[in-house]
Structure 1
Amino acid sequence: MRFSQGMTLGMIVLWAAMQAASAEAGGEGLSSRIGSGNPAAGKDKSDAGRCQECHGVDGNSGDPRIPNHAGQHAGYLAKQLFDFQTGTRQHEVMSVMAEDLDAADIADIAAYFAAQKPMRGRDGSGKAAARPLFEHGDASRKIPACAECHGSNGEGRADHNGSVVPVLGGQRKVYLRAQLVSWKLGERNNSPDGVMNEVAKRLSDDEIDALADYLSGLQPP
């Protein structure tokens, strides 16, 4: 954690409170999830005029088309913001929202959402038909298990080598489906080595629907 000269006592107190609450939710993995940013500063930088209006004060959006960010790995959120800035990922609203952020802003905003209590699904009530594909993949079609990268509960991961895989468990079903379709059609192509495009194009529409529903029902630890 770094305290900048511009931080007020209130912001420092807020940081301490957020650390305590998030530690209860995130355990030992909290620091790796937050990264190098300052969550307290990120709260101000992500206010209603920037991020919280759509993604929620606690990182849980009120619109099924808009992704939850609560407990998402900061490294993943930061990459998406940089990709929106450079045009590697396209979105009419997000490209505008990201264009004037500097590296410190991005790190702080990402850390703020990462520090929130992780998003939660519906007690595993998603379509059970997708479970074998999620857990084991389909070798005959060269589809790897989703859990291999994203974790058995969709918790994702972030390691000291900078490798970041996003949290998917508890994410919005409509959003998940839209992204899988975008990967499949090549409308989105900013995953490392194009891995998500390769996976998604081998999935049927029914499998995409089932996976989106299954993932939205998972509960990351």
Structure 2
Amino acid sequence: MKLLATLTTAALLAVTAVSGFAADEKAAEAKVEPKKAAKPDLVKGEASFTAVCAACHGADGNSGTPANPKLAQQHPEYLVKELQDFKSGKRNNAIMKGFATALSDDDMKNIAYWVTAKKAKPGFAKDKELVALGERIYRGGIADRQVAACAGCHSPNGAGIPSQYPRLSGQHADYTAAQLTSFRDGGRKNSPQMTDVAAKLNDREIKAVADYIAGLR
């Protein structure tokens, strides 16, 4: 009887071990195969952009109104982040919050990837007296005030760095100047790095660097 009990116990332990191994194997397989993120739906993105965004940002993302930014050829990750910030209130703009609140994460991704695939139209610097100052700040910063060069993050030609720093090349000077002023004065708070930079710039310097950026290509 003792021998039978011992054999039975051994058999139960073996079954338990096999079951445990199978469970561990399934868990390992689950970890190896993570859920893939859905690809953006560009057809839906175009439809949403046309219905919601085109009136202010242009049919192809090239806004014709200096107060509204060009979105064409921007980095999609940046646009998604800004839309999320508008929705959460991290970036304060009553008009954009109203639009962004109605969008799901998928809507934001669809819109961002559609409009950023459009080619941006070049802009032009207009203030000859300030463009040289703007170039110095953009490319070299202001050493005595520890102002970093814009080119360090946004690249020498204004193309930016995907998923980290936005494209600036050809952006409307009025829009860029308004954002730098808002960062400086505390109206826009969703980028501590930009708040720190803008805090050290005066109105003339902001206008100069914004005008220079408009002509970058």
TM-score band by shorter chain is 0.7 to 0.9
Per-residue CA deviation, residues 78-111 of structure 1 (Å, 9 max, x unaligned), is: 0110001100011121000010211110001000
Give the drift of 1:128. 2.1
The whole-number CA distance in structure 2 between the counterparts of 1:62 and 1:123 is: 16
- Correspondence for 1:169: 169
- Correspondence for 1:178: 178
User: TM-score when scaled to structure 1?
Assistant: 0.76
Give the drift of 1:37. 2.5
Give the drift of 1:124. 9.4
The answer to whether the aligner puts 1:45 opposite 2:43 as a matched pair is no
The whole-number CA distance in structure 1 between the counterparts of 2:89 and 2:55 is: 23
Give the drift of 1:118. 2.5
The whole-number CA distance in structure 2 between the counterparts of 1:40 and 1:65 is: 28
Unaligned residue ranges in structure 2 (runs of 5+): 1-37
Q: 1:213 aligns with which of 200, 208, 211?
A: 211
Partner secondary structure for residue 46 of structure 1:
helix
Answer with 73-82 or 115-124: which moved more: 115-124
Q: 1:203 aligns with which of 178, 201, 204?
A: 201
Give the drift of 1:57. 1.0
Q: Would you tell me which structure has more helix in proportion to its own residues?
A: 2
Would you say the 8 A contact 1:143–1:199 is kept in 2?
yes
Q: 1:141 aligns with which of 124, 142, 145?
A: 145
Residues 1:125 and 1:204: Cα distance change in structure 2 (over 3 Å): closer
Q: 2:109 aligns with which of 102, 107, 110?
A: 107
Partner secondary structure for residue 52 of structure 2:
coil
The whole-number CA distance in structure 1 between the counterparts of 2:39 and 2:148 is: 31
Would you say the 8 A contact 2:83–2:108 is kept in 1?
yes
Would you say the 8 A contact 1:124–1:218 is kept in 2?
no
Would you say the 8 A contact 2:40–2:110 is kept in 1?
yes
Per-residue CA deviation, residues 1-56 of structure 1 (Å, 9 max, x unaligned), is: xxxxxxxxxxxxxxxxxxxxxxxxxxxxxxxxxx9533332101111x30011101
- Correspondence for 2:30: none
Following TM superposition, where does structure 1 have runs of at least 4 consecutive aligned residues deviating by more than 3 angstroms?
123-126
Residues 1:123 and 1:93: Cα distance change in structure 2 (over 3 Å): closer
Residues 1:176 and 1:41: Cα distance change in structure 2 (over 3 Å): same
Per-residue CA deviation, residues 180-200 of structure 1 (Å, 9 max, x unaligned), is: 000000110101xx0101000
Amino acid in the other structure paired with 2:149: A
Unaligned residue ranges in structure 1 (runs of 5+): 1-34
The whole-number CA distance in structure 2 between the counterparts of 1:123 and 1:181 is: 19
Would you say the 8 A contact 1:154–1:218 is kept in 2?
yes
The whole-number CA distance in structure 1 between the counterparts of 2:52 and 2:212 is: 31
Q: Percent identity?
A: 40
User: TM-score when scaled to structure 2?
Assistant: 0.78
Partner secondary structure for residue 164 of structure 1:
coil
Q: 1:54 aligns with which of 41, 53, 56?
A: 56
The answer to whether the aligner puts 1:150 opposite 2:154 as a matched pair is yes
- Correspondence for 1:29: none
- Correspondence for 2:4: none
